[in-house]
Structure 1
Amino acid sequence: MVLVNNTIRFMNFTQKQLTSSEFTNSVDENEVDLRVYLNIINRYKWRILRLTLLIGLLAWLISYTLQPIYTATTTFLINVESPNIVSVQEFSVRNDQMKTQIDILSSMQVWEETVARIQKQFPEKFQPQPRKIPSLFGMPLDWQTWLSDWGISTTPVPPTNALEPPRLPSKGYLVIQDTKGSQIVAIAYDSPDPELASAIPNTLAEVYVENDLESRLQMTQKATVWLTERLDGLRGKLEDSEKNLQGFTESQKLVDVAGVKSVASQELSQISLDLGSARRKLAETSNMYEQIQRAKGKPLDVLVTIPAVFADPLVGSLKSTEVGLEQKASELGKRYGSQHPEMIAVKTELETNRANLARAVQRIIDSVTKQYEVDRANVATLDRSMRQKEGEIQSINRKQYDLGVRQRDVEANRQLYDMFLARFKETGVTQTEQKTIGRIVDAAVTPTTAYKPKKLKLVAVAMIAGLLFSIFLAFLLEHLNNTLKHGDDVEQKLGMSLLGILPRLTNRKSKQRPLFVFVEEEHSYFAESIRSMRTGIMLSNVDNPHKTLLVTSSLPAEGKTTFATNQAFALGQLDKTVLIDADMRRPSVGKGFGLTDNAPGLSEMVAGTKPFTECIHRLEGVDIDLIPSGMLPPNPLELLSSQHFAEVLKELEKQYKYVVIDSAPIHAVSDALMIAKVASAVIYVTKADFTPYQLIRGDIRRLMLINKTPIGVVLNQVIPKELSRYYGTKYGYYGGYSDYYGTYGSSATKKIVAS
């Protein structure tokens, strides 16, 4: 069934020939398949298991060498609501903050005093102790000695009976944890000695309470002395500020600064209103004045058009009279001429009217000019008055500011003096009060069991980490392996069709010959794979069957000669077939069939030194003919690229149904490229888990450049057990395939087939 499936996949794939770009795109496609990852884990499962167990064993050994650690906890209540003895911020402790008290509790001063008390309480525990060596089941585990014996350690190893210097308790093992919403904190300490683990938290709490009482008493005494000195200074400062205020009031003759400032403000407001009106009026006059100045020196007709002039009633009347006289003069000029008495009278009247108009315009211009000068002088006067009044108000503001400064100074000094006087009285009353900052709720008890190490947890975590590391290492090794390991790699990494899979020949039989496996073990899995690939070759191009088949590979020792020979045997069962050894560099087919090195072959046929009948060797017991390489030419590439070689192949195609050519590796030399140009089809053979797929892709791309895309890839020398690991139980019967075919030809089976 697997062989049929491979054939169907090959037929579907060959219906579409890949171009060079399609080849590259198909290779770069990455499809996520969970089964691929599961198969990788399945292939490396025993190595993963061994490494995981090894890491677990090392963790177990290390856990027994670790020193046991004991922990004890003291529950302590911090009284943050205790009244302040001295309320001055500069000298009081802010007892309303839990974090502040925890910081004090964990301070270095409290810790050093605690260690000093512990040394006095347990003097025997801080004496030099004999060197302890960890043991497992009574056997000492002295790693330092072992490393020294192996020559790894460079430091001198102390003797077994040597004394170790005493180690003081470390603050790093102290943990203080508060409870949210509560004033209780937990003081815990880890130590290899259970007595120290319980004594240190209790002693720390006692030292903290005593230090708090002592510090508050000292601060109270210091505050009393400081307050006394400060009150004397504040009293003198208050008196000086009051005298300064009184002297300033008398020197400036200040009675009611607010009333004087109010009158000045009202006057300034009225001047500001008058100045605004004057400026608006000046703006109007200035506009008319500028129009007149721009028209100065221009004809009367232009001056009349000025809005200020044109708006005057007299000018308007004179202008209308002038228009009427001009119209009358025009009519008389047409009727009587310029010398007529009536015409002369009209002209005289017109000149008189224009003179009156000129005097009226000049009167208006003079009036506007005078009004402009008056308005400008008015604005200047009001502006000076306003600046003078503003100066008066600024002077009043400065005096008011200086007065306010002195008044505030007096008030601040008075308040500070009153406050210090009140605190001084309070300090004298409360000096004898001493309330503790906290108390022990539950004292620490000497532990009987070690807190850590948790050996089972340590081993479990180590094994889980080891398992993850082993799986990661397996995927890393798989990723670094860039060879083709199974059939799916051919399509995924090369973008080529898989023609078939050939198992590795185990050589368990002493007389097994790789070139003759197909004819000598015709019921083996190897032979059946050859038949399946023969079917794929025949179905790859049904309309125009391939006659000349070129078999090549990337590197030597990939099994191309074995495949070419056995495939020739398979094709020979169907029709007349000839096998050609075209590997002019390292020929091996002739020797495999028992021919001598001097046997005529391909080189003689192409050169024409021997007739075809002498170069074609008839083999006994098989259905194919053989053409060995013949005498090795000095330049094989020149021989294979000649026209004579192409003519020889055409002649052989007339005599034989199939021509199978075994060529040199394509990556080493270009012989296979020359043969591929005249061959009908190319079959690419590669060894499983041997050749990097990047190398194969490059060689296949060289074939594509000459339009000779291989019809399929043969994955050779695959280990059936490894194949089943890649595919899982789906392909698990690969390992027993040869056994199945080994019994396929038994007498009982033959009887069944015959019936």
Structure 2
Amino acid sequence: MNIQTERGRSTAPDWTMSMFVGQRDDVIRSLGHIKRRWRLVLAILVAVVLATTFIVLQMPPRYTAEAKILVDPRSARFLEEQTPTMPGMLVDRESIESEIQIITSRQLAARLVDRLNLIEIPEFNAELATPSFINVAAWTAQARAYLERTFGIGGDTEVETGIDPDARIRSKVIDAFSKNLSAVREGQSRVITVSMTAKNPVRAAEIANAVSEYYLVDHLDNKLAQRRRTSKWLEQRLAELKTAVAASERAVEDYRRATGLFETQDDFGRVQRLDTQQLTKTNSELIDARADRTHLEAKLREAEASRSRGQEDVPEVISSNVVAQLRAQETRATQRVADLQSDYGPRHPRLIAAENELVEIRTNIKKEIARIIAGMRNEVARARARESALETAVKQFERKTADQNSRQIRLNELAREAEANQQILEQFMSQTKQIAARQALQEPDSRIIAYAEPPVTPSWPKKQLILLVAALGALMLGSALVLFLERVNSAVRTESDVEEATGLRVVGVIPSMGRRRSGASLTRAIVKHPSSHFAEAMRSVHTSLLMDPSGTPPKSILITSAYPGEGKSTVAACFARAVADQGLRVAIIDADLRRPQIAKIFGLGDKPGLSDLLLRQASLQDVLHAEKGATLCVIPSGSKKSAPANLLAGDGLSSLFAKLSEHFDLIVVDTPPVLVVSDALLVCRHVDSTAMIVRWNDTGREDVLKGVRQLREVGANIRGIILNVVKMRDYAGYSYSKPNAYMRAYSRYYRS
């Protein structure tokens, strides 16, 4: 996440920046390590390049010849239509890869080895090759053959495993041939590049061409064999299919005859079963019968209703000839009765006879109407009987049709099986004719578009590339070795090393002045060259040691180290000289009673010193030896004693420091190494502060920590660590992100 600033802009978190800076510093520090040990990296680079050059010059040149094959699908167009029996050759990525596997197959390689007699060529048969300096395989084969001939060693293995020696040699030759043969696809095209690598360029071209040609011949042979196998299989399959088609058709007819599922065509040409036709026809008749019955019942109901109303307007009555004649008679009889009533009285015989005739005619009309209605009832009854009979017939036909439908399912299955067999038979017959037509035209699906020619330049070894890779590998190896050595080196080199190991700060960095410079010459150099970087380093140590957080500068400073040889005595003497040159009164005490160096540095010889004072064999005035200017006084170690620790453990040191503090501004004490003897632990209790000398890039962190821990255990006030004999250029590389800039500023400042 970004943290919003007061102005509304986002800034990266502190940890992100610190991580980036840390990574950058790690990279710069690693480059500095490599730069400091550039001689080691250069030595490894030169050694590897020389060795690689020698090996490359010993390598025999190898030549690679290339032939190109085009996988052409045009000759296989008749197979483009996919069928279940013989799928088409689709030239896609998988097909090209398959052809590459065929070209590089072991089977094809074995045939070519036998055909070209490569077993007799030493290049492929390692047992025939002449051993060279770098031909390990030839040396191994020759050694194995010699052991087998001389001592019989290694010969039983082949017998035990049942492998014939000639077969073993042939297998190795095939392996060597396959190793030098390769085939790759050219981009996304259908072109395959066949490459052969050999020591002889002519042989490489001949083998590449032989591989290409043999691949085409082998491909054509396989194609012919495949077509023969396909034709034979199709013929067998055709015979089986013909038998299956005949059997399936016969099964259909037998089942149709057994179940009665016969079919006919209607007037519209539609094919239907007989039972279905009968059901359809009967159902149609039933529909007509129901319509007739309904119509007759309606007419009957109308006639009966008219009769009940006394009306005779029913169509059947009106259309009846008998009723019409009776109506005519009724009309005439009615007219006659009317005429007689006007002429005669009601009892006249003629009138009575005429009325009786009219009544009889009307009676006959009613009887005729009743007869007509009775006839209508009979027609309705017949219609109902016919309808019932047709319903019974329809139900019977429906049951029969249902039974036939269940049988029709099986019949349909048999018919579909027969139809499928017939289609497969027709398809196979068509393919058989196509293959037979193509048998005379046998063309390979591939062709050679470029024959291999003997190469002019060798393909191996690529000397420049090998030397470049070797140089890069040597640089990486040298850099890794340098970083490993830097990682396993636990010597103190930077201020951060001191702080991480001890928690103390570095109060001074003393530059190296050369191995031949003695302590005496260095003390004199401070006087002669007060502006030198060595003198400035001593004054910087003085300033750092006198800076106290409590505000009270120390009056006495003890200087010690973890081990001998770290330059503590020289630093103590030069430090005292540098402080004295600033006008302060300084006294330096050599408390190293075992291996004293202060007297030697200041040229005091065997003059009395600290041991004589502590044994009360000399006074303070006797052991104080003033230097030029009287601002520096030296108390040497004095005569050597057998028990220095006993002398330092007494109360004499306390009184000595008390007296010296009255006359001197600073007391410098040189003691033995902390990890060697305990003298420094005895003296540190009488001084105000302690400083430890650490030889740069020599003293280990654990040793420094042990020395500091021992001083702290006795209550010493350790003010800091002084790095001594520091190579400033290397120190800058360890301590600064821009060492070159630091060294330029450092040198420019002290030259001025």
Q: TM-score range by the shorter chain?
A: 0.5 to 0.7
1:484-633 to structure 2, matched below 5 A, reads 484-485=492-493, 490=498, 496-504=504-512, 506=514, 508=516, 518=526, 526-539=534-547, 543-573=551-581, 574-583=583-592, 586-589=595-598, 599=608, 601=610, 605=614, 613=620, 616-619=623-626, 621=628, 623-626=632-635, 628=637
**Structure 1: how far apart are the matches of 2:126 and 2:616?**
102
Question: Per the alignment, do residues 51 and 457 of structure 1 end up closer, same or farther by CA in structure 2, a change over 3 Å counting?
Answer: same
For the residues of structure 2 that align with 1:677 and 1:396, how far apart are their CA atoms? Answer: 127
SS at match of 1:171: helix
Report if the CA contact (8 A) 1:551-1:683 is conserved.
Answer: yes
Inter-partner Cα distance in structure 2 for 1:395 and 1:604: 143
Give the Cα separation in 2 of the matches to 1:567 and 1:541.
22
Match in the other structure for 1:285: none
The structural deviation recorded for 1:549 is: 0.6
Q: CA deviation at 1:401?
A: 7.3
Residues of 2 paired with 1:589 and 1:486: CA distance? 29
Match of 1:446 among 454, 460, 481: 454
Q: Counterpart in 2 of 1:731?
A: 743
Matched, 1:687 2:682: no
Q: 1:177 touches 1:186 (CA, 8 Å); kept in 2?
A: yes
User: CA distance change for structure 1 residues 427 and 651 in 2, over 3 Å: closer, same or farther?
Assistant: same
Which of 108, 111, 114 matches 2:109?
111
- Cα drift, residue 95 of structure 1: 5.3
Structure 1's 404 and 701: CA in aligned 2 closer, same or farther, altered over 3 A?
Answer: farther
- Alignment partner of 1:82: what SS? helix
Q: CA deviation at 1:131?
A: 6.3
Q: Secondary structure at the match of 1:32?
A: helix
Alpha carbons of structure 1 residues 449 and 154: separation in structure 2 relative to 1, 3 Å: closer
Kept after mapping to 2: 8 A contact 1:484/1:690: yes
The reply to whether residue 99 of structure 1 matches residue 97 of structure 2 is yes
- Over 3 Å counting, the alpha-carbon distance change for 1:131 and 1:252 in structure 2 is closer
Instruction: Give the partner amino acid of 1:575.
Output: L
Distance 2:202 2:520 in 1: 79
- Residue 193 (structure 2) aligns with: 186
Distance, in Å, in 2 between the alignment partners of 1:495 and 1:443 is 78
**Alignment partners' CA distance in 2, 1:91 and 1:603:** 117
2:228 counterpart residue number:
221
Q: State the aligned residue count.
A: 560
What is the CA distance between 1:91 and its match in structure 2? 6.0
Q: Secondary structure at the match of 2:61?
A: coil
Report what 1:237 is aligned to. 244
The structural deviation recorded for 1:193 is: 0.9
Q: Which of 79, 92, 95 matches 2:72?
A: 79
TM-aligned CA distance change 1:478 to 1:203, over 3 Å: same
Are the structure 2 counterparts of residues 417 and 477 from structure 1 closer, same or farther at C-alpha, using a change threshold of 3 Å? same
CA separation in 2, counterparts of 1:661 and 1:234? 118
Alignment check: 8 A CA contact 2:696 2:725 kept:
yes
Higher relative contact order (CA 8 A, sep 6+): 1
CA root-mean-square deviation: 5.0
Residue 645 (structure 2) aligned to one of 619, 632, 636: 636
Q: CA deviation at 1:624?
A: 0.9
User: How far did 1:639 drift?
Assistant: 5.4
Which structure 2 residues correspond to residues 643-682 of structure 1 after superposition, within 5 A?
Answer: 645-646=653-654, 648-669=656-677, 671-673=679-681, 675-682=683-690
Q: 1:592-639, CA deviations, whole angstroms, 9 ceiling, x for partnerless residues?
A: 66779995636964xx86686378433465621416377758583895
Residue 442 of structure 2: aligned partner: 434
CA contact (8 A) 2:32 2:733 kept: yes
Q: Name the CA distance, whole Å, in 1 between partners of 2:455 and 2:26.
A: 54
1:475 to 483, 493, 500: 483
1:114-193 to structure 2, matched below 5 A, reads: 114-119=112-117, 142=133, 170-193=177-200
Q: Work out whether residues 724 and 735 of structure 1, in 8 Å CA contact, stay in contact via their aligned partners in 2.
A: no
Say which one has the larger Rg: 2
The amino acid across from 1:190 in the alignment is T
Cα deviation per residue 1:274-310 (whole Å; 9 max; x = unaligned)? Answer: xxxxxxxxxxxxxxxxxxxxxxxxxxxxxxxxxxxxx
| AA matched with 1:114 | L
Match of 1:232, SS state, is helix
Partner of 1:469: helix, strand, or coil?
helix
Alpha-carbon distance in 2 for matches of 1:396, 1:689: 110
Q: Distance in 2 between matches of 1:475 and 1:99?
A: 47
Under a length normalisation based on structure 2, what TM-score does the superposition of the two structures give? 0.61
Q: Report what 2:208 is aligned to.
A: 201
C-alpha change, 1:157 and 1:58, in structure 2 (3 Å) is farther
Given that 1:77 and 1:185 are in contact with CA atoms closer than 8 Å, whether structure 2 keeps it comes out as yes
Q: Distance in 1 between matches of 2:56 and 2:495?
A: 47
> In structure 2, how many angstroms separate the alpha carbons of the residues matched to 1:592 and 1:716?
17
Is this contact kept in 1: 2:122–2:128, CA < 8 A? no
Aligned identity (percent) is: 23
Q: 1:153 to 1:688 in 2, by over 3 A?
A: farther
1:222 is matched by which residue type in structure 2? R
Distance 1:676 1:398, change over 3 A: farther
- The letter for the 2-side match of 1:232 is A
Given the superposition, is the C-alpha separation of residues 30 and 413 from structure 1 closer, same or farther in structure 2, using an over 3 Å criterion? closer
Q: 1:438 to 1:253 in 2, by over 3 A?
A: same
Partner Cα separation in structure 2 for residue 408 and residue 652 of structure 1: 129
Alpha-carbon spacing, 1:153–1:572, altered in 2? closer, same or farther (3 Å) = farther
Report the more deviating stretch, 208-217 or 725-734. 725-734
**Partner letter of residue 38 of structure 2?**
K
The CA deviation string for residues 560-607 of structure 1, in whole angstroms up to 9 with x for no partner, is 1221233223334433333233346655546766779995636964xx
Cα offset, 1:717, TM superposition: 2.2
Q: State the Cα distance separating 1:210 from its structure 2 match.
A: 1.8
CA distance 1:672–1:402, shift in 2 (3 Å): farther
Instruction: Tell me, in whole angstroms, the C-alpha distance in 2 between the residues paired with 1:589 and 1:39.
Output: 38
Judged with a 3 Å threshold, the aligned counterparts in structure 2 of structure 1 residues 505 and 178 are, in CA distance, closer, same or farther, namely closer
Check 1:583–1:253 CA distance in 2 against 1; reply closer, same or farther (3 A cut). Answer: farther
Q: 472-481 or 64-73: which moved more?
A: 472-481
| Runs of 5+ unmatched residues, structure 2 | 1-21, 147-168, 263-271, 280-401
Paired residue for 1:46, among 17, 39, 45?
39
Asked if 2 retains the 8 angstrom alpha-carbon contact of 1:144 and 1:153, the reply is no
**Offset, 1:214:** 2.0
Tell me the SS of whatever aligns to 2:429. helix
SS in 2 for 1:83: helix
Given residue 662 of structure 2, which amino acid in structure 1 is its aligned partner?
A: K
Give me the whole-angstrom Cα distance separating, in 2, the residues matched to 1:190 and 1:58: 25
> For 2:593 and 2:410, how far apart are their aligned partners in 1?
117
Deviation, 1:411, is 3.9
- Between the aligned partners of 1:198 and 1:98, the Cα distance in structure 2 is 23
Aligned to 2:184, the other structure's residue is in SS state strand
Q: State how far apart, in whole Å, the 2-side matches of 1:72 and 1:248 are.
A: 72
Write the mapping of 1:9-88 to structure 2, written as runs, cut at 5 A: 32=25, 35-83=28-76
When normalised by structure 1's length, the TM-score is: 0.61
1:160-215: CA deviations, max 9, x gaps? xxxxx996761222222223443222222221111122112222222222222222
Q: Distance in 2 between matches of 1:188 and 1:513?
A: 76
Task: Identify if the C-alpha distance between structure 1 residues 647 and 246 changes in structure 2 by more than 3 Å, giving closer, same or farther.
Answer: farther
